[in-house]
């Protein structure tokens, strides 16, 4: 065989075999890398476009009013903005807020926002609290008002129908998240179910608030006021062997009997002393509450009115509060003065103060002293 026909190395090439050289492999690797880079760039460009498009202003439109409610998170509000067409993409907007550390300063209220607004303009509006000035109702409920007096006040202002409001206040139901009102017992003797629970205060609500909204607001105000009491107030109440409904009842008696703040704990102490001895409370304010129409002056016959609220005829507390007590009266009911007093009588000298006594004999002397200075007569509490 001719050696010139032999393959170098002693092997013959196989028919159809293509040998890949080093440079060819490198070209394939380079193409793979380029394709991967291109794919990554396309994905990055797609994400960038998605974010850009999601953050750019929405199509222009008419302004809309949107409420940022108390307790609503900025992320929840973003979803509301998208539904109203103010922003394009709530998901992207949420992360933009997080990136910018925005949201904690947003203020609750009703905002007028327009589709087409820049995202930063929306954020600035929410931070500044540029809410819409809505027409509101404003009213004051004085301390010691009854449900019927509250209904009269709201009715005269044109906010409620008196009869419908009272009927609503007598309904046995839950009232939103209000807690204290859940203490009311199921007692058919209650004249008005919510008596004493509608806290006396000055209120401002949206003009379109319904009677139910007004009641819930007043009940929630009672909860807020109770939160300002000492932390152990419920333990103190339990030590006095009363529940919250009874506490509010005592506070309402104090409210209707006392004008001078310093005397509230003294009258509270007398109420507890009489209860402990099994004595009738004989509080004129409960008689007034029992009458169809309160009188400027009570007469002997009025004290005989047949009512579960008439503390001249019943022993113990009436079925429930007779008015809306102030926080000071609630505090006095919780922390009464420790005395031996069992009686008190109005001085009738215009000071609104009382004379206090430990015995009936001493009380009768105080009555005589009061009558000497009386200008027009008056009432004798806790005889």
For residue 85, what are the contacts with CB-CB under 8 A and spacing of at least 6?
58, 59, 61, 64, 115
Query: Would you say 249 and 344 are in contact if contact means Cβ atoms under 8 Å apart?
Result: no
Average pLDDT, the chain: 88
Q: What percent of the chain has pLDDT over 90?
A: 55
**Which of 234-238, 244-248, 289-293, 334-338 is predicted least confidently?**
289-293
Tell which wins on pLDDT, 199 or 86. 199
Tell which wins on pLDDT, 75 or 291. 291
Residue 375's pLDDT band (boundaries 50, 70, 90)?
low
The two tokens of residue 357 are 């006594």
What mean pLDDT is predicted for residues 201-213? 92
pLDDT beyond 80 at 197 = yes
* 318-347 confidence digits (pLDDT tens): 999 999 999 999 999 999 999 999 999 999
- Contacts of 162-167 spanning 24+ positions with Cβ under 8 A: 164/211, 165/211, 166/192
For residue 78, what are the contacts with CB-CB under 8 A and spacing of at least 6?
87, 90, 93, 94, 97
Query: Would you say 37 and 92 are in contact if contact means Cβ atoms under 8 Å apart?
Result: no
Quick one: CA dihedral 83, 67, 210, 245, positive or negative? positive
Domain 64-128, architecture per CATH: 2-Layer Sandwich (3.30)
* 157-176 confidence digits (pLDDT tens): 999 999 999 999 999 999 99
What mean pLDDT is predicted for residues 177-200? 96
pLDDT beyond 70 at 10 = no
Residue 146's pLDDT band (boundaries 50, 70, 90)?
very high
What mean pLDDT is predicted for residues 102-107? 86
pLDDT value at position 19? 52
The two tokens of residue 279 are 């004595």
* 251-273 confidence digits (pLDDT tens): 999 999 999 999 999 999 999 99
Tell which wins on pLDDT, 107 or 193. 193
What mean pLDDT is predicted for residues 18-37? 75
Q: Can you tell me the distance from the alpha carbon of 7 to that of 13, in angstroms, rounded to the nearest whole number?
A: 7
CATH 3.30.1490.480 boundaries in the chain: 64-128
pLDDT value at position 2? 46
Please tell me whether the overall predicted TM-score, pTM, comes out greater than 0.85 for this model: no
Tell which wins on pLDDT, 227 or 43. 227
pLDDT value at position 178? 95
**Which of 15-19, 144-148, 209-213, 333-337 is predicted least confidently?**
15-19
């Amino acid at each position: 065989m001719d050696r010139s026909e032999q393959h170098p190395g002693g092997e013959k090439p196989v028919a159809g075999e293509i040998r890949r050289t080093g440079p060819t492999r490198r070209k394939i690797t380079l193409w793979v890398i380029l394709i991967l880079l291109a794919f990554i760039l396309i994905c990055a460009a797609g994400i960038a476009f998605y974010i850009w498009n999601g953050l750019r202003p929405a199509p222009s439109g008419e302004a809309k009013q949107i409420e940022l409610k108390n307790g609503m998170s900025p992320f929840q509000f973003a979803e509301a903005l998208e539904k109203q067409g103010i922003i394009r993409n709530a998901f992207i907007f949420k992360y933009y807020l997080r990136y910018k550390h925005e949201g904690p300063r947003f203020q609750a209220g009703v905002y007028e926002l327009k589709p087409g607004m820049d995202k930063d303009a929306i954020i600035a509006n929410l931070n500044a609290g540029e809410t819409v000035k809505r027409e509101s109702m404003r009213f004051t409920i004085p301390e010691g008002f009854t449900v019927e007096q509250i209904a009269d006040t709201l009715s005269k202002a044109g906010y409620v129908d008196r009869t419908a409001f009272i009927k609503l206040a007598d309904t046995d139901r839950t009232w939103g998240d209000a807690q204290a009102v859940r203490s009311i017992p199921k007692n058919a003797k209650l004249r008005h179910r919510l008596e004493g629970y509608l806290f006396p205060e000055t209120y401002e609500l949206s003009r379109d608030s319904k009677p139910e909204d007004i009641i819930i607001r007043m009940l929630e105000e009672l909860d807020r006021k109770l939160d300002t009491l000492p932390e152990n107030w419920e333990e103190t109440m339990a030590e006095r062997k009363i529940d919250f409904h009874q506490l509010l009842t005592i506070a309402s008696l104090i409210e209707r009997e006392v004008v001078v703040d310093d005397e509230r704990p003294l009258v509270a102490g007398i109420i507890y002393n009489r209860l402990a001895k099994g004595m009738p409370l004989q509080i004129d304010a409960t008689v007034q509450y029992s009458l169809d129409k309160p009188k400027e002056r009570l007469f002997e016959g009025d004290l005989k009115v047949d009512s579960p609220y008439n503390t001249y005829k019943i022993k113990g507390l009436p079925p429930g509060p007779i008015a809306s007590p102030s926080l000071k009266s609630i505090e006095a009911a919780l922390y009464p003065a420790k005395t031996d007093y069992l009686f008190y009588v109005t001085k009738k000298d215009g000071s609104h103060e009382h004379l206090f006594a430990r015995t009936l004999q001493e009380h009768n002397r105080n009555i005589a002293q009061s009558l000497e200075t009386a200008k027009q007569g008056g009432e004798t509490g806790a005889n």
